[in-house]
């Protein structure tokens, strides 16, 4: 059985088509893996009967020669995606028994392309966090170190941990300020945040509407391309969804980067970045150079404002987006004598500390008297940050940065929210600019923890992003498997 | 109060002198759209509770609003009819507050950049004068749901059918100076909305509601502190509420007090306003642009296309009625008040005496309908039948007096006037010989009075006319009776 776990999404897809094994066999292998790795806490919900039915249906399609692009491939779903008749909680107590009657566009796209659903994956509560420690149902463990409980990153920590632990062939994630790329980096896998507007937000529990974007967490760049092909697409139900055809990313896997220009932003090499990461960042630069790219120093002068801007805009939108969790229509309700008291106890008990902190920050920055100084100013600076990227993409094709300033940290060790927020320092700017970014593993640090490198492309240049990431992936030859992965 | 002072409407004679009112209105008009502003759910009125609720309306997790283009068109149409600036780029904002019938925890509205900017309309006052009232803006927004507090001793029930229904908020400038002007303003806006078809203007069903901002000042002074009276749903209440609120403010100011800027409610049972919440308790709505929606953008040519679909609007229509039908501007202004009035009138008056038709419609028909509490659309008298009645009067088939009887019969039986006239033999007698017979009869029966008349008692002429009419059962043509009697009694 365990042999089946060695296949990645693309190779499993080929093997299934060649009838080397069935989707049912593959899916069962993953349920064994889920059981084996259950101590990691990645899954909130498994839906075995449902999965098996989907796998059987896929096997029928293989038999009939009607296989679709993701036919029979078992994947996990971050709990931010609403899934029809399957509990969707956003890792929050306030939605602990919420079961949607509808399916998010992105997951529907995946099922329509034949993917098999394994279950729902943990994340930070309402995707607010960088360590998966804000999840209502407890921590998720990074499978890389057996003896120390390390954070998988966040907010898509369950997704990243499951893919790294081989308890999912791939998983969906959402990225608001780095929630796909940072956990991918921490867990030694590939995480792609598409251009804002590429994937429909319809049916994804909203955190920060102007930033949220769904994307894949996978073992390889090819897998990311294969999965994003299915996830992306215009959706009339999301007014911010881009009405643009995405080219078949599988055609861009081997385009190479000869003659392409890669920008190295000087603002991304600051104090506080770990030596091992600096080393691999430099290695990565050299690999790209050796592969025929031209390396150019560039400047994104407003980078230092990105984190403060993000921590104004995202909480502002969140404070409004989370107002609907009021105990009136669905989700948890604590009864009380008056409406206002009911709100207080329901929301007071239903939300965790980090969510409450952000709701308060967001409420504050939108309040009359503070709006201009915080929210409005942040929006202006966000425009400047976007212009920084626009200017740099006049000169270069892609930007290379570390994904995170450090590798994973021990669970429970980062108590101060500000130092937690610093985790996203390299991922937040591209989110604010709406540009696509990918993190891929390039090596291990002294402790044996994965190091992620980030490539950023211009809006809607996912094809080029994939080509470039593939070059880096080949050079890095990252073939390590997490210690805690299913065997 | 000094009764001898001749106060203009909107003036209040206080202890310290004459005060004037400054009034601004915010009208909430529900757009006549089958579906809601941001969801596909039905916007119809009167459905079973919570039956017209989509996932978006119920604010389920991950649901997103999508703008209803029909509603955008109606707002632009209305803006054009208000002679207002159309903003080619406008933005939807979130107005954040918690309430049980507001599922999202915010209302999607337009704050800094509304779809329609400044405009103006002309209103007609009872004394025949006109005045211009400025429009500040018109914006699109969602309606909230309904809380039902009287269904259970300790619980409230929520009906989300109205949640997300499209509203236009039309904000006037503080140009209104009397409750009567406010009433005329609301009527004019309602009339324009109905002409354009953007809103049915039905105040009983809540499709049109007004918030009134009222302050008082001495003539020439700066604006005073205002209070806002919320949610008035009839012209009569608007007039009463403004008058009572202004009087309340004058009383406070004359006693040396200060007006607290606050939101007030009008109590229809007492005819007075009472405090709902003060400025200190006012919500901080934390408006910000809704990141789920792109800015609304459209081209000049699209606006031009909408402009071409606009119907003839009341002000121009009024002028045309005066020229085409020869009616007075006053009658014309009554007829254009409602689109269905004009439609009815134009059908009835087609090829008939326009002036006579207007008189009959305004005096007789409106009077009868009002008495029976029937709306014009349900009138038992059709425009065609009213026109026929006018024709019967004009060609002398029946007299004006008989016509009133025929009309009364038409109101009951819905029959055509010619049928009624025929059935009851009510044709006017205009034949000289027939009438002379009647005259001879009256003269022979009243020889003494004839003598008196001839002897100089001129007043008796009316008696003879009356007698002739009486024995003709009202059918004799009065002008011929007059003429022949005069000849006979020379």
Domains of chain A (ranges, CATH numbers): 2-257 (3.90.1300.10)
Nearest by CB to B106, from A81, A203, A323: name it.
A323
Using CA coordinates, name the residue in chain B closest to A367: B286
- Asked whether residue B203 is domain-assigned, the answer is yes
Q: Residue B434 has what DSSP assignment?
A: H
Considering the domain architecture, whether residues B349 and B413 belong to the same structural domain is answered as: yes
Considering the domain architecture, whether residues B162 and B279 belong to the same structural domain is answered as: yes
Q: What is the pLDDT of residue B293?
A: 98
- Asked whether residue B82 is domain-assigned, the answer is yes
> Is there a contact between B61 and A82 if contact means CB atoms under 8 Å apart?
yes
**Burial letters for A144-183: b for 16+ Cβ neighbours within 10 Å, e otherwise?**
bbeeebbbbbbbbbbbbbbbbbbbbbbbbbbbbbbbbbbb
Task: Summarize pLDDT for A59-70 with one digit per residue, the tens.
Answer: 999 999 999 999
Q: What are phi and psi of B200, to 5 degrees?
A: -80, -10
Grouping H, G, I as helix, E, B as strand and the rest as coil, residue B393 is: helix
Nearest by CB to A320, from B64, B96, B99: name it.
B96
Considering the domain architecture, whether residues B380 and B468 belong to the same structural domain is answered as: no
- Asked whether residue B439 is domain-assigned, the answer is yes
Considering the domain architecture, whether residues B208 and B268 belong to the same structural domain is answered as: yes
Domains held by chain B: number: 3
Task: Check if A320 contacts B (Cβ < 8 Å).
Answer: yes
- Asked whether residue B449 is domain-assigned, the answer is yes
Considering the domain architecture, whether residues B280 and B334 belong to the same structural domain is answered as: no
For residue B80, the distance in angstroms to the closest alpha carbon of chain A comes to 27
CATH number for B449 = 1.10.10.410
pTM: 0.90
Nearest by CB to A326, from B63, B105, B291: name it.
B105
- Residues of chain A in contact with residue B105, where contact means CB-CB under 8 angstroms, are 320, 322-324, 326
What is the rounded average pLDDT of the residues A99-106?
98
Check A78, A193, A260, A332 and give the catalytic one: A78
Lowest mean pLDDT among A75-84, B126-135, B339-348: B126-135
- Asked whether residue B375 is domain-assigned, the answer is yes
Q: What is the pLDDT of residue B3?
A: 52
Q: Which of B204, B197, B165 lies closest to B35, judged by CA?
A: B165
Task: Summarize pLDDT for B259-272 with one digit per residue, the tens.
Answer: 999 999 999 999 99
The answer to whether residues A451 and A407 touch, using CB atoms and an 8 Å cutoff, is yes
Query: pLDDT band at A228, cuts 50/70/90?
Result: very high
Considering the domain architecture, whether residues B139 and B119 belong to the same structural domain is answered as: yes
Whether residue A475 lies in the annotated active site: no
Q: Write out the H or E segment, with its range, that includes residue B148.
A: strand B146-148
Considering the domain architecture, whether residues B125 and B268 belong to the same structural domain is answered as: yes
Check A51, A155, A161, A319 and give the catalytic one: A155
> Is there a contact between B158 and A371 if contact means CB atoms under 8 Å apart?
no
Q: Which of B424, B448, B468 is the last residue of a domain?
A: B424
Q: How far apart are CA B460 and CA B131, in angstroms?
A: 51
Whether residue A91 lies in the annotated active site: no
Lowest mean pLDDT among A158-162, B5-9, B467-471: B5-9
Considering only CB atoms, which residues of chain B are within 8 Å of chain A? 55, 58-67, 94, 96, 98-100, 103-106, 156, 158, 284, 286-288, 290-294
Q: What is the pLDDT of residue A271?
A: 72
Sheet with A43-46: list strands edge to edge. Answer: A43-46, A116-121, A74-78, A171-175, A213-218, A190-193, A437-444, A450-457, A398-402, A261-265, A294-298
- Asked whether residue B12 is domain-assigned, the answer is no
Q: Residue A142 has what DSSP assignment?
A: B
Lowest mean pLDDT among A24-38, A373-387, A462-476, B328-342: B328-342
Q: Which of A205, A35, A240, A191 lies closest to A107, judged by CA?
A: A205
- Asked whether residue B17 is domain-assigned, the answer is no
Considering the domain architecture, whether residues B56 and B183 belong to the same structural domain is answered as: yes
B2 has a pLDDT exceeding 60? no
Considering the domain architecture, whether residues B439 and B346 belong to the same structural domain is answered as: no
Q: What is the pLDDT of residue B329?
A: 87
The answer to whether residues B54 and A102 touch, using CB atoms and an 8 Å cutoff, is no
- Asked whether residue B2 is domain-assigned, the answer is no
Q: What are the DSSP calls for A169-181, one per residue?
A: S-EEEEESSSTTH
Q: Which of B270, B305, B340 is the last residue of a domain?
A: B305
> Is there a contact between B103 and A366 if contact means CB atoms under 8 Å apart?
no
Q: How far apart are CA B450 and CA B475, in angstroms?
A: 23
Q: What is the pLDDT of residue A310?
A: 98
What domain range is B353 assigned to?
312-424
Considering the domain architecture, whether residues B389 and B482 belong to the same structural domain is answered as: no
Q: What are the DSSP calls for B188-229, one per residue?
A: HHHHHHHHHTS----TTTTSEEEEEEEEEEETTSPP---EEE
Q: What is the pLDDT of residue A291?
A: 96
Percent of chain A with pLDDT over 90: 96
Considering the domain architecture, whether residues B383 and B442 belong to the same structural domain is answered as: no
Considering the domain architecture, whether residues B42 and B120 belong to the same structural domain is answered as: yes
Q: Which of B394, B424, B454 is the last residue of a domain?
A: B424
Task: Summarize pLDDT for A271-303 with one digit per residue, the tens.
Answer: 789 999 999 999 999 999 999 999 999 999 999
């Amino acid at each position: 059985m365990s042999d089946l776990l060695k296949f990645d999404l693309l190779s499993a897809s080929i093997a299934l088509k060649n009838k080397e094994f069935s989707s049912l066999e593959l899916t069962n292998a993953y349920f064994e893996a889920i059981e084996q790795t259950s101590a990691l806490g990645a899954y909130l919900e498994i839906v075995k009967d449902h999965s098996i039915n989907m796998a059987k249906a896929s096997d029928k399609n293989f038999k009939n020669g009607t296989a679709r692009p993701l036919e029979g491939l078992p994947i996990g779903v971050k709990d931010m995606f609403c899934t029809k008749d399957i509990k969707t909680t956003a890792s929050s107590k306030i939605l602990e028994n919420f079961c949607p009657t509808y399916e998010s566009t992105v997951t529907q796209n995946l099922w329509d392309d034949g993917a098999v659903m394994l279950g729902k994956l943990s994340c930070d509560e309402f995707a607010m966090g960088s360590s998966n420690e804000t999840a209502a149902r407890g921590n998720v463990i990074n499978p890389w170190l057996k003896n120390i409980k390390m954070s998988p990153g966040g907010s898509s920590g369950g997704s990243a941990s499951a893919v790294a632990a081989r308890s999912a062939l791939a998983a969906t994630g959402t990225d608001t300020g780095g929630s796909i790329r940072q956990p991918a980096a921490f867990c030694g896998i590939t995480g792609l945040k598409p251009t804002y507007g590429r994937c429909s937000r319809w049916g994804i529990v909203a955190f920060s509407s102007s930033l949220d974007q769904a994307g894949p967490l996978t073992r390889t760049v090819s897998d990311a391309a294969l999965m994003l092909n299915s996830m992306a697409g215009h959706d009339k139900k999301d007014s911010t969804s881009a009405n643009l055809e995405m080219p078949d990313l599988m055609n861009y896997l081997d385009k190479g980067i000869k003659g392409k220009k890669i920008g190295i932003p000087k603002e991304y090499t600051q104090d506080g970045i770990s030596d091992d990461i600096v080393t691999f960042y430099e290695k990565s630069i050299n690999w790209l150079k050796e592969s025929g790219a031209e390396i150019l120093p560039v400047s994104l002068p407003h980078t230092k404002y990105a984190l403060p801007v993000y921590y104004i805009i995202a909480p502002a939108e969140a404070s409004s987006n989370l107002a609907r969790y009021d105990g009136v229509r669905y989700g948890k309700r604590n009864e009380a004598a008056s409406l206002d008291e009911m709100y207080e106890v329901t929301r007071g008990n239903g939300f965790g500390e980090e969510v409450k902190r952000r709701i308060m920050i967001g409420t504050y920055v939108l309040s009359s008297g503070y709006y201009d100084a915080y929210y409005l100013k942040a929006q202006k600076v966000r425009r400047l940050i976007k212009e920084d990227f626009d200017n740099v993409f006049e000169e270069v094709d892609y930007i290379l940065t570390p994904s995170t300033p450090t590798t994973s940290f021990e669970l429970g060790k980062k108590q101060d929210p500000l130092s937690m927020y610093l985790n996203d320092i390299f991922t937040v700017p591209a989110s604010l600019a709406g540009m696509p970014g990918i993190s891929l593993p390039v090596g291990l640090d002294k402790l044996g923890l994965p190091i992620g490198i980030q490539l950023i492309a211009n809006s809607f240049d996912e094809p080029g992003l994939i080509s470039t990431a593939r070059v880096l992936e080949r050079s890095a030859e990252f073939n390590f498997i997490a210690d805690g992965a299913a065997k | 109060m000094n009764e001898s002072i001749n106060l203009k409407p909107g003036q209040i004679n206080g202890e310290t002198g004459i005060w004037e009112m400054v009034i601004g209105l915010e009208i909430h008009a529900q757009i006549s759209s089958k579906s809601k502003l941001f969801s596909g759910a039905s916007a119809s009125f009167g459905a079973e509770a919570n039956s017209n609720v989509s996932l978006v309306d119920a604010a389920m997790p991950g649901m997103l609003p999508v703008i209803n283009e029909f509603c955008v068109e109606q707002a632009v149409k209305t803006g054009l009819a208000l002679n207002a600036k159309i903003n080619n780029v406008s933005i939807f904002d979130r107005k954040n507050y918690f309430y049980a019938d507001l599922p999202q925890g915010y209302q999607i509205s337009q704050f800094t950049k509304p779809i329609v900017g400044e405009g103006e309309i002309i209103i007609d006052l009872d004394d025949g004068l006109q005045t211009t009232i400025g429009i500040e803006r018109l914006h699109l927004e969602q309606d909230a749901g309904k809380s039902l507090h009287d269904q259970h001793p300790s619980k409230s029930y929520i009906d989300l059918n109205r949640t997300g229904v499209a509203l236009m908020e039309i904000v006037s400038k503080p140009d209104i100076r009397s409750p009567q002007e406010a009433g005329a303003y609301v009527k004019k806006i309602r009339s324009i909305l109905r002409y354009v078809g953007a809103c049915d203007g039905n105040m009983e069903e809540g499709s049109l509601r007004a918030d009134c901002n009222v302050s008082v000042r001495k003539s020439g002074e700066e604006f005073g502190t205002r209070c806002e009276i919320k949610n008035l749903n009839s012209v009569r209440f608007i007039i009463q509420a403004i008058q009572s609120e202004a009087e309340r403010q004058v009383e406070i100011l004359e006693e040396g007090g200060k007006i607290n800027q606050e939101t007030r409610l009008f109590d229809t049972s007492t005819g007075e306003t009472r405090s709902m919440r003060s400025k200190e308790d006012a919500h901080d709505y934390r408006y910000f642009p809704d990141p789920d929606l792109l800015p609304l953008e459209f081209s000049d040519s699209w606006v031009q296309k909408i402009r071409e679909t606009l119907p003839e609007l009341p002000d121009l229509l009024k002028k045309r009625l005066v020229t085409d039908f020869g009616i007075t501007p006053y009658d014309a202004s009554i007829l254009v008040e409602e689109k269905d009035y004009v439609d009815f009138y134009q059908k009835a008056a087609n090829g008939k005496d326009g002036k006579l038709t207007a008189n009959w419609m305004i005096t007789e028909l409106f009077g009868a309908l009002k008495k029976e509490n029937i709306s014009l659309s349900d009138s038992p008298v059709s425009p065609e039948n009213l026109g026929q009645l006018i024709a019967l009067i004009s060609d002398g088939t029946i007299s004006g007096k008989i016509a009133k009887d025929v009309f009364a019969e038409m109101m009951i039986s819905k029959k055509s006037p010619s049928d009624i006239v025929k059935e009851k033999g009510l044709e006017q007698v205009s034949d000289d010989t027939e009438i002379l017979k009647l005259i001879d009869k009256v003269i022979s029966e009243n020889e003494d009075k004839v003598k008196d008349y001839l002897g100089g008692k001129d007043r008796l002429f009316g008696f003879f006319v009356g007698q002739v009419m009486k024995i003709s059962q009202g059918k004799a043509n009065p002008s011929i009776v007059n003429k022949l009697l005069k000849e006979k009694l020379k």
